[in-house]
Amino acid sequence: MPSKDHLHTLKRVLGSKEEYICMDPDCDYRVLKRYMVNKRALCPICAEPFVIRNPIRLAQPHCDACTKGSNKKQLKKVITKIVVG
């Protein structure tokens, strides 16, 4: 099955500092951190497309609007959900 044509929602591989994977269950896209910079991805919080900028510090890169904190509560919830599984 070919992977869907979409913008990837990226998440750091557990235990890795460099490798990120797409969170879509139908997509097996993998990318190294240095190749993600200036690429478009989907924000895991607001589901809007955004361009990934350096430096990438987050396990789950998200858009500027969500970084600036207006969605902070929501972000916490998303992260908790991922950690718990």
Part in contact with Zn ion (CB under 5 A); list of ranges 11-19, 26-34, 53-61, 76-84 = 26-34
Helix (H, G, I), strand (E, B) or coil at 12: strand
Q: Is 22 in the site for Zn ion (CB under 5 A)?
A: yes
Q: 60 burial class (0-12, 13-18, 19+ CB within 10 angstroms)?
A: middle
What x/- string results for residues 61 through 80 when contact with Zn ion is judged by CB under 5 A? Answer: -xx--x--------------
Buried b (16+ CB within 10 A) or exposed e, 7-22: bbbbbbeeeeeeebbb
Of the candidates 42, 43, 52, 75, which one interacts with Zn ion according to CB under 5 A?
A: 43
Part in contact with Zn ion (CB under 5 A); list of ranges 12-20, 32-40, 44-52, 74-82 = 44-52
Q: Cis omega before residue 55 (within 30°)?
A: yes
Name the residues that contact Zn ion, by CB under 5 A: 8, 22, 24, 27, 29, 43, 45-46, 62-63, 66
